[in-house]
Amino acid sequence: MCLKFYRTVGLLERSTLYEFLSSGVEEMDAGLLALTEKEQDLRGRLRFSMPPSFEPMWALLEGFQALHSNIEIDLFVSERRLHFIEDGIDVALRIGDVASQSAVARRLMSYRHQLVATPEFMQSVLVQSPQDLHAIKCAAWGQKDDAVVWTLGDKKIPIQPFLRANDYLHMRYLALRGQCVTELPPFFCKQYIESGEFIEILPDYPMPEQQVSLVYPSRKSLSRITRVFIDYCVENFQV
């Protein structure tokens, strides 16, 4: 009799536990669905800064707003590293070192610039080592009065460019016209290398690796819009 009683209690307890767990799973699913719907209904403004002509972000911004149509984006394009508080920036795309005690960084990618020129241009010159670039017509990224030094492998090569610019698209235009050798990020020259319009110069002497990160002030003060944007970029970023 006692054994039968305890078995009955055990069955009741297991049944109650099953119902409790099933209810918990259903509530969790409902919560996740509500959160998803809430994120789709996000409304507000995102203030984002990035360097000029960073083409890989263009489609990403378009896709994010297609998914979150009620979010407006204020885009600040500048070479200057804007200040989060003074300039009112929620999140920034940074290239290079982002070490900071007051900011958090999420890495998107790393890449190396490539030296490129047209096959026609290279038929008229001989480039077998980095030192040969001293005698070659080059266009280089640089600011006014800045010395231009290309780091190629373990070699540092001072360059006297015929054109110094802070515009990679202009430098690509000149190189495609057969005017010079220039340095470009891979997303500005990949399709032209694949089509044969460019060839890569000195691939055995790679340029330094560049880090691309999203940077924001603090996890604690992160708005839902900013968090959703950062997560979207990390999951969908492509070159």
How many Cα atoms within 13 Å fall on the side-chain side of residue 95?
A: 18
The pLDDT value given to residue 15: 52
Residue 184 pairs with which residues in a beta bridge? Answer: 114
Angle between helices 56-67 and 224-236 (to 10 degrees): 130
Under CATH, which number does the domain 44-111+211-236 receive?
3.40.190.10
Q: Say if 44-111+211-236 and 114-207 have the same CATH topology.
A: yes
Per-domain residue ranges of the chain: 44-111+211-236, 114-207
CA–CA dist 212, 105 (Å, integer) = 9
Read off the pTM: 0.73
The pLDDT value given to residue 5: 44
CA–CA dist 2, 101 (Å, integer) = 67
Which tokens go with 7?
């078995």
Single-letter amino acid, residue 33: L
The pLDDT value given to residue 6: 45
Which tokens go with 210?
């560049």
CATH architecture of 114-207: 3-Layer(aba) Sandwich (3.40)
CA–CA dist 111, 52 (Å, integer) = 17
- In a structure prediction context, what are the per-residue pLDDT tens digits for the chain, which is 239 residues long? 544 544 554 554 555 544 544 445 444 544 444 344 455 678 999 999 999 889 989 999 999 999 999 999 999 998 887 788 788 899 999 998 776 657 888 999 999 999 999 999 999 999 999 999 999 999 999 887 789 999 999 999 999 999 999 899 999 999 999 999 999 999 999 999 999 999 999 999 999 999 999 999 876 678 899 999 999 999 998 76
CA–CA dist 234, 213 (Å, integer) = 9
The pLDDT value given to residue 140: 96
- The contacts of residue 183 (CB under 8 Å, 6+ apart) are 113, 114, 115, 116, 140, 141, 150, 171, 207
The pLDDT value given to residue 13: 55
